[in-house]
Amino acid sequence: MRFECQPGCTVCCQQKGFVYLTEQDLPRIAHYLGMAPQDFEKRYVYRTRNLRRLRTPRATRCHFLRPEGCAIHPVKPAQCRIFPFWPELVDSAREWHRTGSWCPGIGKGDLVQIEAAREQAREMRESYPGLYH
Ligand code: SF4
Ligand code: SF4
């Protein structure tokens, strides 16, 4: 596996799908934005029975996507930080290559040790027990 995120790229932020939050993501992002967690939640978060995710605005895929990149980059949600080392991609060469058809960082840069990739995939599983059970 080779991967190196490409400067200035935001293609993954424009894909269909939801941005899920861990219980720790929520207060961290709120704090970064100078908001009370409950205000942040009211404005940006949608909760289901066992998951919480960012609301999806009408015009873009994410409230925090700017032309120059992610407005909350230093505290972005776990799934954004871990991508593309999600379990479904690390465990499937087919899915990894398929994702490489739109993520320009896949196939570039240094080789990533499989154990390091698996460690990130593990973190993803642990971060979102409601998604991976
Ligand atoms: S699509 Fe790939 S290269 Fe582009 S920002 Fe996302 S992870 Fe980085
Ligand atoms: S939170 Fe940031 S990194 Fe995640 S989808 Fe939104 S803009 Fe992209």
- The model's pLDDT over 30-49, given as tens digits with 9 standing for 90+, comes to 999 999 999 999 999 999 88
45 near 55, Cβ under 8 Å?
yes
Of all protein residues, whose CA lies closest to atom 7 belonging to ligand 1? 5
3 state DSSP class of 2: strand
Shortest-distance ligand to the CA of residue 17: 2
Which pTM value belongs to this model?
0.95
Nearest atom of ligand 1 to the alpha carbon of 13 = 6
Give every CB contact of residue 94 below 8 A, 6+ residues apart in sequence. none
Per-domain residue ranges for the chain? 2-127
Does residue 87 contact residue 121 with C-beta atoms inside 8 Å? yes
Paired tokens of 103: 């993520």
Interval 47-104: pLDDT, tens: 988 899 999 999 899 999 999 999 999 999 999 999 999 999 999 999 999 999 999 9
Q: How far apart are CA 105 and CA 44, in angstroms?
A: 29
Residue 100 near residue 107, CB atoms below 8 Å: yes
Does ligand 2 come within 6 angstroms of the Cβ of 76?
yes
